[in-house]
Structure 1
Amino acid sequence: MTDLLTLRAMRWWDIEQIAQLEQELFPTDSPWTAAMFWSEMAAGHHYSVIAAADGTVLGYAGLARSAEEAEVQTIGVRPGMQGHGFGRRLLDDLIAAAGDRRILLDVRTDNTPAISLYESSGFARIGLRRRYYQPSGADAYTMEKPTPDREGQT
């Protein structure tokens, strides 16, 4: 099946599918709207998708970059497709797009699979944001992947 999949830049025609996936994946945490994804694309941020040959989006991810930092905005994988390495492929793409920048992200404290993925990719917990996700009130860990020249330093 992975032979029929493509990791590529997000295009405008993907936005409706991605907004629907957001509703499905994050219903209690203010899922992003199509307008929000349009805004991210207009701002020139790095967004990618894994799509099937028929155009079905199986996963998506986004990264905002500044001069010295990058922030993972979102990673989502279609239910039923989780656990097949799509999240890792998307995260690897974001890490490559970040270049030599420090990377930050926030993740729900109860999202054990995502936390494990991030930790296995060199991210470490650096903070806790109480009631970060709304309207659910779920807490979030802030995680960091240092710049390549600072990895391993404390």
Structure 2
Amino acid sequence: MNWVLRRATAADLDPIMTIENAMFPADAWSSSTMASEIAGEHGYYLVAVADDGGIDGYAGLLAPEGSGHGDIQTIAVVDRARRRGLGRTLVLALVNEARRRRAAEIFLEVRADNPGARALYEALGFTQIAVRPRYYRGGIDAVIMRLAVPEPETSLT
């Protein structure tokens, strides 16, 4: 399966919310919050469009231009697209945009009971800097992670 990443638009709100509600039933954002995030001037939201035209994932970054930092607000990948590199691709696209906006560091929060996501973020260079006890519904802790935005790498090989 292949995907094309593109900027999310208001027209993507319904499929994004379908994924949001399925993936995060206890902590899903409201439609109005998601719409505001997608349209916000300091945000950068992407959708991953599959070969069949369906949206298989989305991710969002809040990074005001020149502020020096960014926050990965959300990321979700549907079951059929998991373990195929899409989550990694989405995170790397957000890191690249944060770099373009001159962010020196990026923060995110991840549920303590999500070892797969934590492993992905650690593999990409994020480190744990704090824990917010009982941040998520159900009393689940939030692990706060930070990435010092690396310089872009290029290679001819």
The TM-score with structure 2 as length reference comes to 0.87
| RMSD of aligned Cα (Å) | 1.4
Partner AA of 2:22 in structure 1: E
Number of equivalent positions: 145
Distance 2:92 2:149 in 1: 15
Deviation at 1:37?
1.5
The one of 23, 28, 31 equivalent to 1:31 is 28
Aligned structure 1 segments of 4 or more residues deviating by more than 4 angstroms: none
Distance 1:103 1:115 in 2: 15
Give 3-state SS (helix, strand or coil) of 2:122's partner: helix
Pair 1:145 & 2:142 matched:
no
Distance 2:78 2:115 in 1: 17
Deviation at 1:42?
2.4
Give 3-state SS (helix, strand or coil) of 2:108's partner: strand
Distance 2:109 2:147 in 1: 12
Distance 2:35 2:79 in 1: 23
Partner AA of 2:46 in structure 1: S
Distance 2:52 2:30 in 1: 23
Partner AA of 1:79 in structure 2: D
Partner AA of 2:141 in structure 1: D
Question: Map of 1:1-154 to 2, 5 A cutoff?
Answer: 1-2=1-2, 5-28=3-26, 30-44=27-41, 45-66=43-64, 67-99=67-99, 100-101=102-103, 102-134=105-137, 136-148=138-150
Structure 1, unmatched stretches of 5+, are 150-154
Superposed CA deviations along residues 36-59 of structure 1, whole A, max 9, x for unmatched, are: 111012212100011124431101
Higher strand share: 2
Distance 2:44 2:85 in 1: 20
| Worse-matched range after superposition: 8-17 or 50-59 | 50-59
